[in-house]
A and B are shown apart, each in its own frame.
Chain A
Amino acid sequence: MELLLQQVVIGLTNGMVFALIALGYTMVYGILELINFAHGDLFMLAAFFALTLIGALGVDAMAGPGLYFALFGVVAATAVFAGGLNWTVDRVVYRRLRGARKLAPLVSAIGVSFIFQNIGLFWGGAPMEVFGGGTAAAAPKAFPDLLPTDNLFGLGGLHFTLKDLVVVVSSVVVMSVLFGLVRYTRLGKAMRATAQNPVAARLMGIDVDRIIGATFLIGGALAGFAAVIYGLYINTIHYQIGYQNGLYAFTAAVLGGIGSIPGAVLGGLVIGVVRAISDQAIGAEWQPAVLFSILIVILVFRPTGLLGSTAREKV
């Protein structure tokens, strides 16, 4: 029983990270009906950016309050970097294809994903200490373990460290801010209006392109935040983490109902917990099979996902 509880705790913590990435997918889909395949790789580049920053500023050698201050700075800078990059990609690539058929931006997104992956491969070869001297560009990089790993429940019993707590609490805070933003601000209202009907939104005087740009900016910033959290929590990054995590996050977004922000969070948590329980009860080798079987079953009975709405029909 305790073991089961432990697995649920691990699953929820992991699920938080998936949920953070899933939000970026779901926001862009909600507003553009574009599955931004490059989102996972944006997350990867953000993780590389964060590691570079940590190496360049010597954050890994700091301690005490200075460390937390520096980490906060790294999070902020990475969020700006990833948000800016995502905004730029939209401005340069997707925006030009707004009037094109749906497949054009989709294929471009796959292209951007490949470009990002190769940039990551180059970046991994940077001649820096944190990248292992840059001799093996594709090798996994160790992301320093900067958060305290003291168990909050003492020795024995449930294993839940301060590090896990930081992951959970900071994710919840960021998600709450996002909910608030979408729900209660003018920008959020404009985003919801654009998602519901871009043409009508434009007629109401909403600058649709600016709103879409803002969506990319916010989604990217979330990926940047997720990247730092992921690095500090998992402690390994490499140029392919975007693909793996992107797949899980995309699945989370679909599971929760793509386009729905609470759905993405719920989907991420469900995936995290299902993974953990499946490892415990069935075996690690069956994890992807179990996960995707459950996804299929849920989608058969609820084609719009757990919290997806059927309200929006495009004619």
Chain B
Amino acid sequence: MRLAFVLSCALATGLAALGGCKKDGGSSGNPAVVKIVSSLPRTGSANAQTTTIVNGIKMAIEEIGGKVGDFTIVYEDWDDATAKKGDWDPEQEKQNADKAAADPDILAYIGTYNSGAAKIAMPKLNQANVSMISPANTYTGLTKPGKGEPDEPGVYRPSGKVSYFRVVPADDIQGPAAAKWIKEMGGKSVYVLDDRGLYGKGLADLVEATAPDVGLTVLGHEGIDPKAQEYRSLMTKIKALAPDAIYFGGTTQTNAGQLVKDMVAVGLEAKFVVPDGCYENAFITAAGADNANGRVFITFGGVAPEKLTGKGAEFVAAYQKKYGTMPEAYALYGYASARVVLDALKRAGKKDREALRVAIGAYKDEDGPLGTWSFDENGDTTLLLMSGNTVKDGKFEFVKRLDQ
């Protein structure tokens, strides 16, 4: 049916018209179907974390019976990682964004996991007016003017509209919270490392910038090669400076686990503080439970699944019943992202990218699984949740709230 339509179009007016047909494609495609896609690193070590995000999305869709009004919701789980890289791949993310922009049935794009990937998808989807909701991006410059590069976030919004939203608190809360927490735990000095990625370096810079304000001495700041085999020389150098804590802006995928192993191997005694990119069980496995126990401290924009209350606890219970395991930390944000889209579609009442974008911007959650929150004018969540966690007996353990 659809093929016939495209063909006739092409035959009648030549190839140039093919583009034209696609362009006003808002009304083409299948009028009874609204597609939601997610673009997350499914190949590679982030897989465990992204699987629970995808499960969260699926649960939100099943909850409403897979239908909003007369529309059938079709969900597709896309991968933005490749086996070759073992992590998200810029080329793959670009392809995903282009594919989503070109498919008139796709109204919402849940993703990305990595802030660097968001940078690629955002302008493309913004131009096509596809709403993008991230369950995990925390790099500040993606949304907040004056907090990243000078041309951010305008460069991600070529249409001038805000079409990117995120349900997790950004790093301008997480970075300073980490610095403050190190000080609270009795630390006087910190050595800052980062993985030279958008997310990791952004956070490390924030920690370095905030440290003097909270009375913390920064002994050094350098980037690592996240593909290196080991970091014993680096750790030996740091050991000579005897810092109370090491802050690493990076993720499990950028070798946080090996850093922990090597600091233990050279006999460096210090706290190892990492951001939410390491808040997954794969990190404990990579570092080795014995090495991580009591040494590793993790900040996370939210609270651990087992500490949730109200609707959040209900979600965790339902998740455990359905999948038989405890969700990883980001599952709730996957669930929340899908809820935002479904609720907005219901309010918009029509299959229209612009109407959905406006409806998402106006989303308000009262007593939802994440609490009471909405989006501000930049597309950021108004939620300021931040927790400090550690590892005990090979498991994450909640220590305290850092946002209060």
Contact = CB atoms under 8 A, between A and B. Distances in A.
Interface of A: 3, 6-7, 10-11, 14, 117-118, 121, 132, 135-142, 145, 149, 151, 159, 161, 234-236, 238-241, 244-245, 248, 275-277, 279-280, 283-285, 287-288
Given A121-B83, A287-B225, A280 B237 contact: yes
A197 B3 CA distance: 64
A279 B237 contact: yes
B228 interface: yes
Given A3-B236, A136-B47, 12 more contacts: A7-B233, A138-B44, A138-B83, A138-B86, A234-B230, A236-B286, A238-B45, A239-B86, A248-B229, A275-B233, A280-B237, A287-B228
Q: Which 10 A-B pairs have the closest CB atoms?
A: A139-B45, A279-B233, A285-B223, A276-B233, A140-B286, A138-B44, A284-B234, A284-B224, A283-B222, A136-B47
Interface size classification for chain B: 35 or more
B364 interface: no
A132 B257 CA distance: 14
A284 B234 CA distance: 7
29 contacts: A10-B266, A136-B282, A138-B43, A138-B83, A138-B86, A139-B45, A139-B286, A140-B45, A140-B252, A140-B282, A140-B285, A149-B265, A234-B229, A234-B230, A234-B261, A240-B227, A241-B229, A244-B227, A245-B229, A279-B234, A280-B233, A283-B223, A284-B193, A284-B223, A284-B225, A284-B234, A285-B222, A285-B223, A285-B225
A288 B266 contact: no
B236 A10 contact: yes
B48 interface: yes
A134 B66 CA distance: 31
A208 to B, nearest CB: 36
Interface string B218-259: 000011110111111110110010000000000010000110
Given A121-B83, A159-B266, A235-B288, A136 B48 contact: yes
A150 to B, nearest CB: 11
A198 B223 CA distance: 49
B160 interface: no
B230 A14 contact: yes
A259 B138 CA distance: 50
B196 interface: yes
Nearest to B84: A117
Given A136-B45, A136-B48, A14 B232 contact: yes
Contacts of B240: 3
B65 interface: no
B232 A10 contact: yes
Contacts of A11: 233
Given A132-B285, A284-B224, A6 B229 contact: no
B267 interface: yes
Interface of B: 43-45, 47-48, 83-84, 86, 193, 196, 222-225, 227-234, 236-237, 240, 252, 257-258, 261, 265-267, 282, 285-286, 288
B237 A236 contact: no
A14 B235 CA distance: 14
A250 B139 CA distance: 37
A145 B267 CA distance: 15
A240 B84 CA distance: 8
Contacts of B229: 14, 234, 241, 244-245, 248
A236 B236 contact: no
Contacts of B227: 240, 244
A142 B286 contact: yes
Contacts of B193: 284
B34 to A, nearest CB: 32
Given A240-B86, A287-B225, A139 B285 contact: yes
Contact of B45 (A7, A138, A244): A138
Contacts of A145: 288
B364 to A, nearest CB: 36
B257 A238 contact: no
B164 to A, nearest CB: 28
B83 A285 contact: no
Contacts of A161: 265
A275 B230 CA distance: 11
Contact of B231 (A117, A142, A284): A284
Contacts of B234: 279, 284
Nearest to B255: A140
B258 A285 contact: no
Contacts of B236: 3, 6-7, 10, 159, 280
A161 B286 CA distance: 22
B83 A3 contact: no
A139 B47 contact: yes
B244 to A, nearest CB: 19
B315 to A, nearest CB: 21
A81 B373 CA distance: 58
From B230, B233, B267, B288, residue with most partner A Cβ within 10 Å: B233
A211 to B, nearest CB: 33
Given A3-B240, A7-B236, A236 B222 contact: no
B67 to A, nearest CB: 32
Contacts of A139: 44-45, 47-48, 252, 282, 285-286
A183 to B, nearest CB: 31
A33 to B, nearest CB: 28
A142 B233 contact: no
B257 A284 contact: no
A238 B86 contact: yes
